Amino acid sequence: MMITTLPLIGITVHPDDDPDRANLDRLLAQIVQGVERAGGAPVLVPLGLSETTLRGLFARLDGLLFTGGGDMDPALYGAEPHPALGGVSGERDRTELALARWVAAAGKPAFGICRGAQLFNVAFGGTLYRDISEHPGALRHAYGAEAESALRPHAVQIEEETTLARLVGRPALEVNSLHHQALRQVAPALRVAARAPDGLVEAVELIGHPFALAVQWHPECLPALPEQRRLFEGLVAAARLTGA
């Protein structure tokens, strides 16, 4: 019998009482499928674990996937509340910030989607636009569910010699856009890997890390597109090296 490595990919989750739960449940199911299709074993990481349990679980995982969801508490990046904020969960922030910092310290592969990009930035000292209306000249980025798979709301320009460029294999992509927040001041530990035409950051990578990439769009909703599937495949391939 051939023995194949099945890397364990931890997937973060939204709280049960998230106001956008119906959408997030659907996206989470697509993420689980995306990880499995890429050859990984999806492991949902529950909220509410003690730090000891979370740390022990983290140690067993070969890679992490940070999912989309509600907004981070602006106090985490030194900002005041804003009327556009929604779905803030202190428990989710606490869990994911710990995991993101452990990913950096351990060199463990990680991929972030939407909120995942914002999480990376806040975890390493960056700030966010609490609402994209705070960015002068912003395009529309907050499309609804109709934009998930059918439409391509905007392009992204990909920076050369990034993990993203290597995975996608082309200098530009059309992507979906379901976010009302974005990165503002980029953390020094991160490198910008893609931008929208209005200058907003659409992807970042941890500098000096083997595989820690986060994108602002939702590749899980675009499984028919090979370059979007490659983001999941890249995570699983990197995790396979870790777990080997």
- Joined together, the tokens standing for residue 1 give 């019998």
* Cβ-closest position to Mn ion: 177
User: Smallest gap, in angstroms, from Cβ of residue 158 to Mn ion?
Assistant: 14
- Which 18-57 residues touch Mn ion, going by CB under 5 A? none
* CA angle (120, 124, 126) in 5-degree steps: 85
User: Smallest gap, in angstroms, from Cβ of residue 50 to Mn ion?
Assistant: 36
Residue 42: partners with Cβ closer than 8 Å, 6 or more residues away:
9, 11, 31, 32, 35, 36
Which CB sits closer to Mn ion, 115 or 141? Answer: 141
Which CB sits closer to Mn ion, 183 or 189? Answer: 183
> Cα(218)–Cα(147) distance, rounded to whole angstroms?
10
Which CB sits closer to Mn ion, 108 or 179? Answer: 179
Q: Establish if 218 lies at the interface with Mn ion (CB under 5 A).
A: no
Which CB sits closer to Mn ion, 94 or 135? Answer: 135
- Give the rounded distance of the alpha carbon of 97 from its chain centre: 12
Whether 220 is a known active-site residue: answer yes
> Cα(174)–Cα(243) distance, rounded to whole angstroms?
33
Part of the chain binding Mn ion (CB under 5 A), chosen from 109-117, 120-128, 140-148, 227-235? 140-148
- Which 176-195 residues touch Mn ion, going by CB under 5 A? 177
User: Smallest gap, in angstroms, from Cβ of residue 129 to Mn ion?
Assistant: 12
Part of the chain binding Mn ion (CB under 5 A), chosen from 1-9, 69-77, 90-98, 169-177? 169-177
Whether 114 is a known active-site residue: answer yes
Q: Which of 115, 141, 184, 230 binds Mn ion (CB under 5 A)?
A: 141
Which CB sits closer to Mn ion, 54 or 173? Answer: 173
User: Smallest gap, in angstroms, from Cβ of residue 30 to Mn ion?
Assistant: 18
Q: Where are the beta strands (DSSP E) in 33-113?
A: 41-45, 63-66, 110-113
Q: Establish if 12 lies at the interface with Mn ion (CB under 5 A).
A: no
Whether 179 is a known active-site residue: answer no
- Joined together, the tokens standing for residue 174 give 């059309």
Catalytic residue among 209, 218, 221, 233: 218
CB 180 within 8 A of CB 141: yes
H, E, C per residue of 120-178: HHHHCCCCEECCHHHCCCCCCCECCHHHCCCCCCEEEEECCCCHHHHHHCCCEEEECCE
- Most distant CA pair in the chain, distance: 59
Task: Report the interface residues with Mn ion, using CB under 5 A.
Answer: 141, 177
Q: What residues act catalytically?
A: 114, 218, 220
